[in-house]
Amino acid sequence: MIRICKHYIPWNLAFLVIAESMIVFGSVYADSIIKQFLYFQPIPADVDYTYSKALVIALATAITFYVVDLYNSRLHLRRSEFFAKFSMCLVIIFFIVASINFVMPSLHLHSMDYLSSLIVFVPAIICFRFLYYWAINNSKEKVIILGVNDIARNIAQELAEGSSFQGLFAARYGTDDVDAPHEVQQRLIR
pLDDT tens-digit readout, 1-15: 667 777 777 777 888
Residue 75 has pLDDT above 70, yes or no: no
* pLDDT tier at 142, thresholds 50, 70, 90: low
CB atoms within 10 A of CB 65: 22
Contacts of 129 by beta carbon, 8 Å cutoff, 6+ apart? 76, 82
Residue 165 has pLDDT above 90, yes or no: no
Residue 190 has pLDDT above 50, yes or no: no
Of 183, 126, 178, which Cα lies nearest the Cα of 170? 183
* pLDDT tier at 154, thresholds 50, 70, 90: confident
> What does the pLDDT look like over 77-107, one tens digit per residue?
677 888 888 999 999 998 988 888 888 877 7
Q: For the chain, give every domain's residue range.
A: 2-137, 140-189
The 8-class DSSP code of residue 44 comes to P
Contacts of 76 by beta carbon, 8 Å cutoff, 6+ apart? 82, 129, 133, 137
